[in-house]
Structure 1
């Protein structure tokens, strides 16, 4: 294949050399009949210097696969053994603060990296340091020490509408500063189980491997999102890409800069989606939003006066479409922030101000333990026959990762592999301590069985 390609290239080159003296190059017109031809070039000239290519390298543990039966009854010699293997990867990033050298990208681009190299459009390279990251929302903040950097101005992503034009810039397959265009296909996408907290912009601008962490901009060259994921069986572009909204990204970055970590906001409710059936039952005109099913004691919601059966339809004047979208917006807003919730109570529209608590204020901690427990609310409790364990108080929806692995509301977790757990803290520590497969011993009624979460 290499030989054929080389011969073809040589033939084309020879042909070009032979005919080139006879070719006259006509200059393309910039206008036709006095009208300027449409082009994104002037905007891209300003923006692309603010989009960088990222190259990472490091090593991570790889565990051998063994028969899960051995974890409980098998030969101790057959327990999984971990070994370190080198890896490298490519991604993209966006300069959001030129003076401080701050670059935002996806957490999955730099996860486990021991060395991060940032390459600018002009060819300059810098070794970046990691300021902070948040795996659940897939955001990471880097810093480089460089002069004459170009930052990309942030847009208000809450002002986006379906149909707005969008332009993706990144490093797909290592092809730096590739530009593709499309439109905003949908807003507020959640429940995709791509990340722990999802509130994606969907676009049909071509996004491929290596675009992760790159810029999604509007026609003014302003950042509306961070390209994060694609939906496609082949792993390539099929016109369905997802980006983290710029407002969500900025909130997370601000928390990382202020606290060194993301401090998630908590409302302190259990809820579900409003759909046609719920709307009919409650006499609602809207068929979108989140209905409050339970309010956790001493939570931000209780202090603000929210009630069971309230229907939350907006946050700070922006409509929400689902409980998952509400959950993501609240969590990424940050602990201590005051938000205005638009609610429908007994058929009347009201506005309630809520000062958000922190995640430690509620029993909801499952998403921090393991990605496949996301969506579950946990608390210490007992089985019907008196065994101490961790009760699954609720699961957000039947599409949540916790539900997809086979867990149900009311299940009681008794063991992690061969370790007994009697509190949420026990469960969290036991999951952290496991290397390899994780099995939960669960009791549901009188039935006891194992659920594999990794």
Structure 2
């Protein structure tokens, strides 16, 4: 049976699936019972951690839009699109990270489109929550509740996790009250799952099921190492492969939401690919992992910092990078203006480079926000080789709708149905106004190409 990645939000009318894991073993475990007269137990640690893990109930309306074929619009006078509204209820999990301010972290898909959010604590209290902000591409949302005597979970440094570290997943699967499962960290830096725009997941075998979305992955000290987000398995059932957003990534995004009310994503300004054995052999490299830089954008943070095409980025802030997607996720979770130390390999020599990230806010958007056929592409304002303004395909997910219509990384969209577009805002307006078949004018290097969306 075919396996798939599922987010783990449990709903009564709509089911999405989302989960997570996190962990870190440590020799000093103050909450781990090892008294010689007692059976070893995680109970002391969980008694401290579980009050910070909450159940989240949401109510809202999901709006779906479907384009009406032109022939029906012509003969029956139908509108350009059909709009359907469907009420829904859902259940998920969340984690209190600041008791004084009442900050609760969960997954964006748990509270997306919610009109009413209710947080239930382990002591039975039910509190209305306010959504302070969210980031769809990393699937993180920040809520706030107002109450005394809250308990927060301390944060661990998820960059210190190792494969094999013990972890415990805490959440509310299938609408049941709080449930605890245990496992280990199975892998780190997982990406390419196509469940989010920025993927750098912790993989765990701790049992996670529907409703665990937004719950906690903690280490044996009771510290938060991840936010449960997704599972991999047939029919959405647990098969021991789950994924969590690392706590460091979550904290960086939450800090931006608290300060700005939104995520102001950092921008390095490079295109590239994973380093693998084939590329290493072709270019006579001394490494088989890392992020290969194929192109550096003019006047970008990368160019200003001295990065060149052909460089291999092997570490970010001292932590090893195994793939281009992992680098992209780590950079994308950092705020604009962040200072980053990159370790690069150039012509066999390793060196460190300091860069100050640019601001991607208002420059980079997920193309699916403009048109479903462009899903999987990341768009940014750019220029063609001839110097004309347009919308560049900065990144492209393989086998995505955008890839299937023929788009390629580096393409620059310069027109929609023979109307010139110079930036993302103009592309969005033209795509919204376009009816029926849409023809995109693409500049690909020195060539002009037309791609048709039906």
Give the TM-score taking structure 1 as reference length. 0.83
Partners of 2:178 and 2:381 in 1: CA distance: 48
CA contact (8 A) 1:407 1:451 kept: no
Tell me the residue number matched to 1:24: none
Tell me the residue number matched to 1:426: 426
CA contact (8 A) 1:413 1:443 kept: yes
State yes or no: 1:45 paired with 2:43.
no
CA contact (8 A) 1:383 1:412 kept: no
CA contact (8 A) 2:34 2:41 kept: no
SS in 2 for 1:248: helix
Partners of 1:68 and 1:316 in 2: CA distance: 54
Q: CA, structure 1 residues 38+321, in 2 after alignment: closer, same or farther (shift >3 Å)? A: same
Tell me the residue number matched to 1:402: 402
What pairs with 1:78-117 in structure 2 (closer than 5 Å)?
A: 79-117=80-118
CA contact (8 A) 1:312 1:342 kept: yes
Tell me the residue number matched to 2:187: 186
Q: CA, structure 1 residues 177+373, in 2 after alignment: closer, same or farther (shift >3 Å)? A: same
Shift of 1:38: 2.3
Structure 1: gaps of 5 or more residues: 1-29
Structure 2: gaps of 5 or more residues: 1-32
Partners of 1:256 and 1:266 in 2: CA distance: 17
Shift of 1:241: 0.9
Partners of 1:319 and 1:70 in 2: CA distance: 56
Number of residue pairs aligned between Structure 1 and Structure 2? 416
Q: CA, structure 1 residues 274+42, in 2 after alignment: closer, same or farther (shift >3 Å)? A: same
Tell me the residue number matched to 2:305: 304
CA contact (8 A) 2:59 2:89 kept: yes
Partners of 2:181 and 2:71 in 1: CA distance: 49
Tell me the residue number matched to 1:122: 123
Partners of 1:389 and 1:279 in 2: CA distance: 35
SS in 2 for 1:104: strand
Q: CA, structure 1 residues 218+274, in 2 after alignment: closer, same or farther (shift >3 Å)? A: same
Shift of 1:277: 1.6
Q: Deviations over 1:260-286 (max 9, x none)?
A: 111000111111111112111232221
Give the alignment partner of residue 58 of structure 2, picking from 37, 56, 74. Answer: 56
Partners of 1:392 and 1:76 in 2: CA distance: 37
Partners of 2:399 and 2:187 in 1: CA distance: 20
Q: CA, structure 1 residues 379+69, in 2 after alignment: closer, same or farther (shift >3 Å)? A: farther
Partners of 1:348 and 1:47 in 2: CA distance: 46
Q: CA, structure 1 residues 176+382, in 2 after alignment: closer, same or farther (shift >3 Å)? A: same
Partners of 1:236 and 1:151 in 2: CA distance: 30
What pairs with 1:231-246 in structure 2 (closer than 5 Å)?
A: 231-246=232-247
Shift of 1:415: 6.2
Partners of 2:306 and 2:66 in 1: CA distance: 52
Q: Deviations over 1:81-135 (max 9, x none)?
A: 2132211110000000001111000010001111100000110000000111111
Partners of 1:312 and 1:180 in 2: CA distance: 37
Q: Deviations over 1:293-315 (max 9, x none)?
A: 11111111111111111100010
Q: Deviations over 1:64-96 (max 9, x none)?
A: 57447768x775416322132211110000000
Partners of 1:397 and 1:117 in 2: CA distance: 36
Q: CA, structure 1 residues 404+240, in 2 after alignment: closer, same or farther (shift >3 Å)? A: farther
What pairs with 1:296-335 in structure 2 (closer than 5 Å)?
A: 296-335=297-336
Shift of 1:191: 1.5
Shift of 1:346: 1.0
Give the TM-score taking structure 2 as reference length. 0.83
What pairs with 1:119-158 in structure 2 (closer than 5 Å)?
A: 119-158=120-159
Partners of 1:139 and 1:393 in 2: CA distance: 25
Shift of 1:407: 2.2
Q: Which has the larger radius of gyration?
A: 1
Shift of 1:332: 0.6
Q: Deviations over 1:369-400 (max 9, x none)?
A: 4585444455566799xxx9956555455356
Partners of 1:303 and 1:223 in 2: CA distance: 36
Tell me the residue number matched to 1:342: 343
Give the alignment partner of residue 439 of structure 2, picking from 434, 441, 453. Answer: 441
More helix by share: 1
